[in-house]
C-alpha cells in the first residue's frame, strides 16, 4: 500500500517516520520545507502539492490541527481529492467534529474515494514506542485494509463503529482529560490553603489512588498549568466546544464533567 502523510508536527512527524521505517512506500507534503528536512535520511518522497501526494497514494493520512486545516488540504484544485484515484482511502487522524468527517466523506464519495476518521491519543513518545491509541470510525472492511499501516505506530487500534464514532470517542477522551486537569488544579489549590506544599502533594497524588495522566502532566510542569497551556490549551478548548455541541445535539445534560473542564480551561487562559 502506498501511503501519503500530511501533518508532520510533534505527533504526526513520528507517525510518518514509523510508516516509512515499517517498509511502506511513503510520500510527504508540508507547507514549510523545513518540516520535511528530518525525513531526508528516509526513503520517503516529497510531493509538490496535496493533489500530487494524493495521486501517489492508496491511503492518505492527515494529522493537521483542526477542521479547517483538514478541509484545506483535501479540497480545491491542489487538494488531495483532486489527485487521488478512485478507490483511495483517506484517514483523518486530526481531532475534528464528527460532522466535518461526514461532510468530507460525502465530498470524497463524489470522487470515488473513502474517508474514515482515526483520531489518535498518546503523543510523540507513544508513537515512538508503537503504543499510540487509534480510535477509528468507518466501514470495518476499510479499517482492516489500513490496519497494517496503523500498526506501525499503534498497538491499540479500536474500531468504534460508523463514520464519526472515532471522533466522538476522542472528543470525550479529551473532555475527561480536561476535567481531570480541572479537578487536579482545584485539589492542589485546596492543598495550598490547608498548608500542604504543592510539590509534596503532587508526589502524593501521583503515587496514590488519585493518580491520572492529568496529575502527571501538572507535576511535570511544576504543579501548575503554565507549561501545559501553550501546548494544549487551544486544542483542549476546541475539543470541549465540540463535546458541548455533541451534548446539545443529543439533548444530554452537560453534567459535572463540563464544570471541571471549564475550571482547567479558565486556568490555562489565565496562564497564557
**Residue 266 and residue 272: Cα distance in Å, rounded?**
10
Task: Determine whether 170 is an active site residue.
Answer: yes
CB 6 within 8 A of CB 61: yes
DSSP collapsed to 3 states, the chain: CEEEEECCCCCHHHHHHHHHHCCCEEEEECCCHHHCHHHCCCCCEECCCHHHHHHCCCEEEECCCCHHHHHHHHCCCCCHHHHCCCCCEEEECCCCCHHHHHHHHHHHHCCCCEEEECCEECHHHHHHHCCCEEEEECCHHHHHHHHHHHCCCCCEEEEEECCCHHHHHHHHHHHHHHHHHHHHHHHHHHHHHCCCCHHHHHHHHHHCCCCCHHHHHHHHCCCCCCCCHHHHHHHHHHHHHHHHHHHHHCCCCCCHHHHHHHHHHHHHHHHC
Set 111, 145, 170, 213: catalytic member: 170
- CA angle 95/110/92 to nearest 5° reads 15
Rounded-to-integer distance, Cα 226 and Cα 222, Å = 9
Question: Which residues are the active-site residues?
Answer: 170
Amino acid at each position: 500500500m502506498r501511503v501519503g502523510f500530511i501533518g508532520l508536527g510533534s505527533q504526526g512527524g513520528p507517525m510518518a517516520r514509523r510508516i516509512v521505517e515499517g517498509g511502506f512506500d511513503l510520500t510527504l507534503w508540508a507547507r514549510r520545507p523545513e518540516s520535511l528536512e528530518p525525513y531526508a535520511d528516509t526513503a520517503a518522497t516529497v510531493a509538490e502539492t496535496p493533489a500530487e501526494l494524493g495521486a501517489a497514494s492508496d491511503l492518505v493520512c492527515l494529522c493537521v490541527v483542526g477542521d479547517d486545516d483538514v478541509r484545506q488540504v483535501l479540497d480545491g484544485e491542489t487538494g488531495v481529492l483532486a489527485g487521488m484515484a478512485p478507490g483511495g482511502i483517506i484517514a483523518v487522524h486530526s481531532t475534528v467534529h464528527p460532522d466535518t468527517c461526514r461532510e468530507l466523506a460525502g465530498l470524497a464519495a463524489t470522487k470515488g474515494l473513502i474517508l474514515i476518521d482515526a483520531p489518535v491519543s498518546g503523543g510523540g513518545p507513544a508513537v515512538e514506542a508503537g503504543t499510540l491509541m487509534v480510535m477509528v470510525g468507518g466501514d470495518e472492511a476499510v479499517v482492516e485494509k489500513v490496519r497494517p499501516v496503523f500498526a506501525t505506530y499503534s498497538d491499540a487500534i479500536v474500531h468504534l463503529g460508523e463514520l464519526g464514532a472515532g471522533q466522538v470517542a476522542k472528543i470525550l477522551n479529551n473532555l475527561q482529560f480536561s476535567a481531570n486537569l480541572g479537578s487536579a488544579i482545584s485539589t492542589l489549590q485546596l492543598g495550598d490553603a490547608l498548608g500542604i506544599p504543592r510539590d509534596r502533594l503532587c508526589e502524593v497524588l501521583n503515587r496514590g489512588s488519585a493518580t491520572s495522566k492529568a496529575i502527571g502532566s501538572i507535576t511535570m510542569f511544576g504543579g501548575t498549568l503554565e507549561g501545559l497551556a501553550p501546548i494544549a490549551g487551544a486544542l483542549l478548548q476546541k475539543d470541549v466546544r465540540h463535546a458541548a455541541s455533541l451534548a446539545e445535539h443529543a439533548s444530554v445534560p452537560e453534567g459535572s464533567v463540563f464544570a471541571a473542564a471549564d475550571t482547567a480551561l479558565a486556568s490555562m487562559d489565565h496562564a497564557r
